[in-house]
Amino acid sequence: MSEVPVNGPPEEDDGQHDEAHLEEGKKKNLLKKFFKAVISMKCSDLHLKAGLPAIVRVKGDLRPLQGGPVTGDQIRAGIFELLSEKQKNIYDERGAIDFAYDVGPQGDADRFRVNAFQQRGRMSVAARRVSREIRNFRELYLPDSLEKITEFNQGMVLLAGITGSGKSTTIAAMIDFINQRDPVHIVTIEDPIEYLFTDKKAVINQREVGIDVIDFHDALKYLMREDPDIVLIGEMRDIETFGAAVHAAETGHLVFGTIHASSSAQTISRILDLFPIEERRSIRAALEFNLKAIICQKLIPSVKENVPVVPTVEVMITNASIRKLIREERDNEIPDVIKGCYADGMVDFTESLRRLVDMGFIDHATAYAAAPNPDELKMALKGIKGRPAGILG
């Protein structure tokens, strides 16, 4: 890996771990310097591990910063300077802590989502840069159909993808689009808060787990007493969070949430897997009547200057055919419906990749590497459209 320059190398490790060394680490706080370097170089992530140089992610690849290795004491001192006493205790008890940190004056800086964790007796850090600026759909190169999805006034909208796929950024764009348009009350439950919203037409209350509320359980228990119109649940991770989302949707709220899945069909399977077999029929019924859309997303490197990555997406908007497939446990046929409904705002990964190639954002090699079916993409790039299968029989 080639090194990336950063102003001012870290001090060399003298191998001592005494109080003076810790105090020196606090004074210099290398962590803050690395955060500023990440912002100036427009990297997406920062990784710190004792004995290695700081490492950043640039256009999807990990690269070390110049300046030599950092020590475990320097990492711990830098992190502990940013934590409250309560957060320090959580880290000492659990060996890990999630938190968000603003670099610079509030309202005029980037924000980092930080995970500090113990490994082999030393602290390591993984920090993701989240720009304070909330970009709109066009600036994020997302399909226009996402605007249509924000017009639902009830139901569930799920963002699916792996960690680092841009789910939080897309949800932030959707929430802020509503914020500019509708006088509604939006409540978010996040761990941690990633984007800070400024009230426009909407009133937005953001609750951070561990700071504003003890845990997701308490946040969800009081949610309906807070008179929300729209709810964002940071991650649908268990029966309780999904159950609360369904209840909110069934009582007339629009609910946004994220889930780790790679496609619309797999999203439904992941939800069902949360529940015992005997409850899955009722969960299918809840999805049939309350699920409004699933947006699956991946980030891939771009060839355009000043555009590091672009999203390739699958957008499923629930219609009569989708509801029928969910009810009849024919989730594997959902891609056929999506393929036949491009005119209605739906899109699959093949069509999304074809559009990105046509617009000059990615090259053919990148598109084929990201394609779920490279042969199908090859035909699409030649203008040959596959025929969607019939599903209503």
- What was the pLDDT predicted at 28? 58
What is the C-alpha to C-alpha distance for residues 353 and 70, in angstroms, rounded to an integer?
40
C-alpha–C-alpha distance, residues 85 and 105, integer Å: 22
Can you read off the two tokens belonging to residue 16?
């001592």
Longest distance between any two alpha carbons in the chain, whole Å: 75
| Average of per-residue pLDDT across 190-201 | 88
Between the CA of residue 245 and those of 25, 134, 186, 250, 294, what are the distances in Å?
A: 44, 25, 14, 9, 14
The rounded distance, in Å, linking the Cα atoms of 205 and 314 is 30
pLDDT computed for residue 5 by the predictor: 55
Please report the pLDDT score of residue 16 as a whole number. Answer: 42
Strand order in the sheet with 61-64: 61-64, 55-58, 45-48, 122-130, 110-119, 96-103
Please, which pLDDT band fits residue 109 given cuts at 50, 70 and 90?
A: low
Tell me what pLDDT residue 90 has. 92
For residue 210, pLDDT over 80 is answered with: no
Residue-by-residue DSSP string for 83-116: S-HHHHHHHHHHSEEEEEEEESSTTSSEEEEEEE
Residue 20's pLDDT is what?
44
pLDDT at residue number 214: 86
Q: Which of 137, 138, 91 is nearest to 116 (CA)?
A: 91
Please report, to the nearest 10 degrees, the dihedral formed by the alpha carbons of residues 354, 356, 357, 359 taken in order: 120
The pLDDT value recorded for residue 140 is: 96
Q: Give 106's pLDDT tier (boundaries 50, 70, 90).
A: low
For residue 262, what pLDDT is reported?
94
Question: What is the model's pLDDT at position 105?
Answer: 63
Mean pLDDT of 242-263: 94
Q: Which domains does the chain have, with CATH numbers?
A: 19-130 (3.30.450.90), 145-381 (3.40.50.300)
Residue 382 has a CB neighbour count (10 Å cut-off) of 9
pLDDT at 340 over 90: yes
Cα gap 156→256, rounded to integer Å: 6
The predicted pLDDT at position 19 comes to 46
Reported as a single tens digit per residue, the pLDDT across 8-63 is 333 333 334 444 444 444 445 788 899 999 988 888 899 999 999 999 998 778 99
* pLDDT reading at 2 higher than 70: no
* pLDDT tens digits for range 143-180: 999 999 999 999 999 999 998 899 999 999 999 999 99
- pLDDT band per the 50, 70, 90 thresholds, residue 107: low
Is the pLDDT score of 115 beyond 90? Answer: yes
Q: pLDDT value at position 31?
A: 87
Coil, strand or helix at 287: helix
The pLDDT, as a whole number, for residue 192 is 78
Residue 390 has pLDDT above 70, yes or no: no
Mean local confidence (pLDDT), 349-360: 97
Beta bridge pairs of residue 157: 256, 293
Contacts of 108 (CB under 8 A, 6+ apart): 132
Name the band, by pLDDT with cuts 50, 70 and 90, for residue 7: very low
Summarize the confidence of residues 119-140 as an average pLDDT.
Answer: 91
pLDDT for 218 beyond 70: yes
pLDDT attached to residue 130: 82
DSSP per-residue codes, 237-275: -SHHHHHHHHHHHHTT-EEEEEE--SSHHHHHHHHHHTS
The 10s digit of each residue's pLDDT in 279-331 is 999 999 999 999 999 999 999 999 999 898 999 999 999 999 999 999 999 99
* Residue 18, pLDDT score: 43
Q: State how far the alpha carbon of 236 is from the alpha carbons of 73, 207, 246, in Å.
A: 36, 16, 11
Amino acid 208: pLDDT: 87
Determine the 3-state secondary structure of 80 from DSSP.
helix
- Please list, in sequence order, all residues whose beta carbon lies within 8 angstroms of the beta carbon of residue 366, skipping any fewer than 6 positions away: 300, 301, 303
Query: What pairing do the DSSP bridges indicate for beta strands 55-58 and 45-48?
Result: antiparallel
